[in-house]
Amino acid sequence: MELTNLRTLRKSKGLTQSQAAAIFGVSVKSYNAWEMGDFQPNISKLIQIADYFGTTIDYIVGRSLKDFSPEEKQILQMAAKIIQEKVK
């Protein structure tokens, strides 16, 4: 599974691969492998990535053809917080 939009999301935040790797707690080599499609993060990392960028896992892996509007992102973030609270 290639993380089709991960590079686009990273660049939209002005991050280098090194910075993104530090944010997600992985090596630069692992992060690079995610962007290249050579290795995939586990589901908890995918959730962390989606939460950080304010999007969905579907968008990251290229299953969605569009990004979400700021309003949709806010709703998704609120829903994610509610779910995280219920899981605790």
CATH number belonging to domain 6-87? 1.10.260.40
Does position 86 have pLDDT exceeding 80, yes or no? no
Does position 23 have pLDDT exceeding 80, yes or no? yes
Domain ranges of the chain: 6-87
Q: List C-alpha distances in Å: 34 to 1, 4, 24, 49, 87.
A: 9, 9, 12, 11, 27
Residues 66 and 56 sit within 8 Å (Cβ to Cβ):
no
pLDDT of the residue at 51: 92
Residues 47 and 58 sit within 8 Å (Cβ to Cβ):
no
- The structure tokens listed for 8 are 């686009």
Does position 87 have pLDDT exceeding 70, yes or no? no
Q: What is the pLDDT of residues 26-68, one digit of tens each?
A: 999 999 999 998 999 999 999 999 999 998 898 898 876 566 7
pTM above 0.75, yes or no: no
DSSP codes, 51-63: HHHTS-HHHHTT-
